[in-house]
Structure 1
Amino acid sequence: MSRIRSESRRVSIAGAVTLSLVLAGCGAGGGAGGGGSDTLVAYTSQSGDYQINFNPYSPTAIDGPGTIFEPLFFYNIARKDKPAPRLGTAFSWNKRGTELSVTLRSDARWSDGQKFTADDVVFTLDMIRKTPGLNSTGYSGTATAVDPTHVKITFDKPSFSEGPQVLGRSWIVPKHIWSKIAKPSEDVMRKPVGTGPFKLAGFKPQAFTLEANPDYYGGAPALKKVRFVTLSGNQSGADALKTGQIDWQTGPVPDIKNVSKNYPGYRAITVPMNQAALFTCSNADLGCSGPQTDPAVRKAIYYAMDRAQLNALAFENTASEISPGFALPERDHALVSAGLTDRIAPMRPRADKAAGLLRAAGYTKGSDGVYAKNGRKLALTVKVVSGWTDYITAVSTIAEQLKKAGIKLTVQQVSWNEWSDARGRGQYQLLIDSLSQGPAADPFYLYSYFFSAKTTAPVGRTANPNFARFKDTKVDAALDALEAIDPQDTAARKPYYDTIQTEIEKSMPYIPILTGGTTSEFNASKFTGWPTEDDLYAFPAVWGRPDNSQVFLHLKPAT
């Protein structure tokens, strides 16, 4: 799950390598983007040297999923498309949701020339089930090869919700190579062999290059090379765009509305997807401590925020409305519960509501303007990663907003390692992060990741990824019920979504800020075929996997 959650779009400015040195070191030259007309130079916000790792199941993989190692199908999380065939061509469930049948391609080969068959799929799924370090989603199916192009996967109970995980996020690996690996969760795959549209052409700590697979079953991609470079931070990324040295990055740049003017030949696209929130260590029963364990305090913070101001100051108005039930207001519009007190979080503060919640919880405002209870001031600390400029601005602005509401908030900038460790172990009061979407355009996966009792742990032990330590029997029961219902049966699923959303709103373990607008800038003068708002065929984030591979397959040199 950490691969799903991790967003490398915000990076520390503390990089040691200068732009010119990096691009020179990776052989830049020959036109815009620092490469030839058929080479795309990508910047994923990597700061510091790359450490080689092309294991698609490793949380520290630098690439591989989608580009080198393929899923059976591509699921578009940006809109509700039908799954697009990759190594699979068709699939179907039995009526109970206990048996999944998959038809495979007959013309795919591994990049070392060996033929791809059902045995590779069965081996991959068995390896995932038997290896805890790979099985981050709790896959428990049993796969059987019916013949070289057909696989049957059986489950002990109805498991419709497993479909997108198994079909869209299981990276199929070659049995003839991986069966000889003693510890598949630890191997870094220095020489990856896959069926994908690209192969590894070369690796250096400052950059690595993928090249088109000439024997790809879909035909060699028109995009002949992709070079991933490391720069020293956000400013270097903007500078590289300005000079035409990179072709695609995902992250904020100054004056985002005028990218085509400020960066001639480039365009930008913003897609609402990951939901920014103040994560709280919310559950006192699991060891959390502090004022934030009181739902009244969490909801007072929610009502004290001025989201319109936050959007303007921290996110250049690229963010959008958020629902306290965490269904995406645009993509999941039909699923946003009518039972919520607020279908959409208020964009302007409601000071009266915040004050009423605190008074009802026993807080009184002192002469200094800060609320207190039992002699203790309502003071909290929020952790943010040093260098995450948009989030630093956001929490600093929130601190000023909460001050007006009688809540003292202290911003603590820490390293990513310290922030990540505190988040996992529950050793924090508040921190800022995003709730990410799952493998399909369905809020079920976000709920099962961040709100299930199965994915949390007591303070001191690592939760993954229910970092708020939220536990609710009604939510858990609704999640169990949803697993057994066909995802196409929206009417049958709706009551369970209503339950989940209303229970989440009551407790508010993750305090909604805004739906983050994921913005990418790309070289439209050098390549055609980029996703647009009218044709959002993939989530257009350079660090999105396997989404970036789907974009690479669509691109063609403009000249």
Structure 2
Amino acid sequence: MKHLRGRSTRTALAVIGIAAVLATSACSINTANNSGASSADGSMLVAADNGSPTFERNFNPFSTSKRVTATYMYEPLQVINTLDGEATPFLATGYTQPDAKTVVYTIRTGVKWSDGEDFTPADVAFTFNLIKETPALDNKGMWQHIESLEVDGDTVVFHLSSEDVPAASIIDQQLIVPEHIWKDVEDPLTFTNEDPIATGPYVLDTFTPNEYTLKKNEGYWQADKVAVEKLVLPAANSQLDVVNNGYDWAYAFITDVDGTWVKADEQHNKYWFPPGGTIALVPNLTKAPYNDVNFRQGLSLALDRDKIATDAEQGYVEAAGQSGLLLPNQDAWLSADLPNGGEVAQDANAALSAFEKAGYTMDGDKLVDASGAQASINIMTANGYTDWLQGLQTVQSQLGAIGIDVKLSQPQPAAYYESLGNGDFDMAMTGFGGTGSVFQDMNLLLNSEFATPLGTTTTGNFGRFSNADTDALLARFKASTDEAEQKTIAAELEQTVYDQLPVISMFYGGLWGLYSDANYTGWPSADDPYAPPNTYNSTPLLILTNLEKAK
């Protein structure tokens, strides 16, 4: 899963999966910015990477501190469009699943590493065995799904550890490294890979602590699809820089995007903020009164999600339904049995009825339990996530209106994630979904396997929901190769999310894509959603092989 997190006063936004952070603190405008959008040499100015405050030369594709653009150079077997789950073949031409425990990838021929060496299926096998031998490199948990693998001609055969049809969508995403380079790396975990050898559309060009550039890989196996000759990546990308200095592509939440970004170039500056995950309140189900579904229903019915969404994200995103799906991305999976498509309207009277079933009644202007004590809850968010805080302040007001004393806590991000993982909270604001896979989203949200202490990980069943019937449904979903059966199971899981409220969904988290079509066209949009607009992970490969020079 990719975790959604809030926008900070010093960052644009860190979203699904990893932190795509753009510093908004004051900084000088660098020389690259002064040159305008794209220069005559076919370059593109991109706000994708951010120095802290300067760049470290680290292009290790396994490292958590790698440069963002390592994923513009290293390719996976297939790239998953996280908006709809569709896979585009890259280093594999596709795969077959002869049964639910076997995945067979056909590896693309005619591909060369950027040093001229041939790419082969052996490189794929080497990469997967490397992350098995050094588990800290396995940041997507590949070997939780794989029993063994073998090369067979132009194919790599993966034998799975169980009937696990969705495992292919995870195996798809592993970045592949060259055996002839990495077999001699003494410590692949700390290796900074300063001069990366890769198969992708770009290779490293120049590097300084304040700016680096990537140039087109002329030997790329689909070089005819790569229109941008050079990517320019400054270390400082303030909102002021992005708006005023001719950026072609940025990932940033900007206040009043029409009055800032669009106004700076009304003819060419565009934006697209599709939903990339769901922001929700997560009750700790191991604690009273949050372990009472009636209490959770009362909380849900007391909320005006439209107002929460508007207050948190300035009207850029929609209120979320209670299906557990990311809509409209996953509309095709939405159960027809959910009332109003899973949307929950604010209803104070129904909320009070639900609270009464949980043992709480109104006493004057306070909601109290049988002893007369006022209902009091603490909701945790991370310090600096200002949009989430704004949404929670609205939640605080709405729950206060029906007599609940709501306190907000804001630990620093590291402490926030540790509290989530350890279950040291009453309620928390967090995000879920956005993998592109209904199974993966539901599994991470509902499976009791993920309801145990998780340390500082940023994904999992933080509310500790545990239900044997739900686990059985997920196991059936995991083993099914029939889409009709999968959708029937998904409908039951959606009903569980709707009825049991393991999370209280509030609004969809946006992907804050800004782009200019002055120099390049073919950007993803609502009319052509072939990729999310983010500048991080592997989905930029879909964009960088789709753009064309403006006519």
* TM-based fold match above 0.5: yes
DSSP-derived class of the 1:532 partner = coil
When residues 131 and 337 of structure 1 are mapped into structure 2, their CA distance, relative to the original with a 3 A threshold, is farther
Structure-1-length-normalised TM-score: 0.87
Q: Note if 1:547 corresponds to 2:542.
A: no
Structure-2-length-normalised TM-score: 0.88
Q: CA deviation at 1:6?
A: 5.7
Native 8 Å contact 2:323 2:498 kept in 1: yes
Q: Note if 1:443 corresponds to 2:438.
A: yes
Q: Note if 1:337 corresponds to 2:343.
A: no
Inter-partner Cα distance in structure 1 for 2:369 and 2:57: 52
> Superposition RMSD on alpha carbons, in Å?
2.8
Per-residue deviation, residues 469-514 of structure 1 (Å, max 9, x unmatched): 222212211111112112xx32111232122222223332221001
Inter-partner Cα distance in structure 2 for 1:491 and 1:391: 37
Q: Note if 1:467 corresponds to 2:462.
A: yes
Amino acid at match of 1:371: V
DSSP-derived class of the 1:354 partner = helix
When residues 191 and 423 of structure 1 are mapped into structure 2, their CA distance, relative to the original with a 3 A threshold, is farther
- Alignment partner for residue 506 of structure 1, among 499, 503, 506? 499
Residue 89 of structure 1 corresponds to 93
Q: CA deviation at 1:186?
A: 4.4
Q: CA deviation at 1:103?
A: 1.6
When residues 34 and 397 of structure 1 are mapped into structure 2, their CA distance, relative to the original with a 3 A threshold, is farther
Q: CA deviation at 1:389?
A: 2.7
Q: Percent identity between the aligned chains?
A: 24
Residue 313 of structure 1 corresponds to 311
Inter-partner Cα distance in structure 1 for 2:518 and 2:297: 48
Alignment of 1:123-138 (within 5 A): 123-135=126-138, 136-137=140-141, 138=144
Residue 29 of structure 1 corresponds to 34
DSSP-derived class of the 1:21 partner = coil
Q: CA deviation at 1:144?
A: 1.0
Inter-partner Cα distance in structure 1 for 2:299 and 2:212: 44
Native 8 Å contact 1:303 1:349 kept in 2: yes
Inter-partner Cα distance in structure 1 for 2:295 and 2:263: 45
Inter-partner Cα distance in structure 2 for 1:132 and 1:533: 39
Amino acid at match of 1:140: I
Per-residue deviation, residues 433-453 of structure 1 (Å, max 9, x unmatched): 221322xx3311111222222
Inter-partner Cα distance in structure 2 for 1:414 and 1:52: 31
Q: Note if 1:11 corresponds to 2:8.
A: yes
Contiguous gaps of at least 5 residues in structure 1? none
Amino acid at match of 2:197: V
Q: CA deviation at 1:404?
A: 0.8
Per-residue deviation, residues 175-217 of structure 1 (Å, max 9, x unmatched): 1222333443444433322111112234444444322212111
- Alignment partner for residue 556 of structure 1, among 545, 548, 551? 548
Residue 409 of structure 1 corresponds to 406
When residues 508 and 16 of structure 1 are mapped into structure 2, their CA distance, relative to the original with a 3 A threshold, is closer
When residues 140 and 90 of structure 1 are mapped into structure 2, their CA distance, relative to the original with a 3 A threshold, is closer
Per-residue deviation, residues 84-139 of structure 1 (Å, max 9, x unmatched): 22111132111x22222222222111122221101111111223344432334323
Residue 524 of structure 1 corresponds to 517
Inter-partner Cα distance in structure 2 for 1:196 and 1:260: 32
Inter-partner Cα distance in structure 1 for 2:529 and 2:523: 9
Amino acid at match of 1:474: D
Residue 175 of structure 2 corresponds to 171
Residue 248 of structure 2 corresponds to 247
Native 8 Å contact 1:268 1:520 kept in 2: yes
Native 8 Å contact 2:104 2:156 kept in 1: yes
When residues 496 and 330 of structure 1 are mapped into structure 2, their CA distance, relative to the original with a 3 A threshold, is same
Per-residue deviation, residues 310-354 of structure 1 (Å, max 9, x unmatched): 2322222222242312122322223222444563222x4111121
Residue 294 of structure 2 corresponds to 296
DSSP-derived class of the 2:310 partner = helix
Residue 479 of structure 2 corresponds to 484
Contiguous gaps of at least 5 residues in structure 2? 12-21
Native 8 Å contact 2:335 2:491 kept in 1: yes
When residues 373 and 222 of structure 1 are mapped into structure 2, their CA distance, relative to the original with a 3 A threshold, is farther
Residue 421 of structure 1 corresponds to 418
DSSP-derived class of the 1:67 partner = helix
Native 8 Å contact 1:67 1:549 kept in 2: yes
Amino acid at match of 1:274: G
When residues 143 and 390 of structure 1 are mapped into structure 2, their CA distance, relative to the original with a 3 A threshold, is same
Inter-partner Cα distance in structure 2 for 1:47 and 1:381: 33
- Alignment partner for residue 349 of structure 1, among 346, 351, 357? 346
Native 8 Å contact 1:301 1:402 kept in 2: yes
Q: CA deviation at 1:519?
A: 2.9
Inter-partner Cα distance in structure 1 for 2:38 and 2:351: 50
Inter-partner Cα distance in structure 2 for 1:152 and 1:393: 49
Q: Note if 1:150 corresponds to 2:151.
A: no
Q: CA deviation at 1:263?
A: 4.2
Inter-partner Cα distance in structure 2 for 1:533 and 1:461: 35
Native 8 Å contact 2:56 2:209 kept in 1: yes
When residues 483 and 186 of structure 1 are mapped into structure 2, their CA distance, relative to the original with a 3 A threshold, is farther
Q: Note if 1:73 corresponds to 2:71.
A: no
- Alignment partner for residue 107 of structure 2, among 99, 104, 107? 104
Residue 221 of structure 2 corresponds to 217
When residues 18 and 477 of structure 1 are mapped into structure 2, their CA distance, relative to the original with a 3 A threshold, is closer
How many residue pairs were aligned? 535
- Alignment partner for residue 39 of structure 1, among 44, 54, 78? 44
DSSP-derived class of the 1:240 partner = helix
Native 8 Å contact 2:47 2:242 kept in 1: no
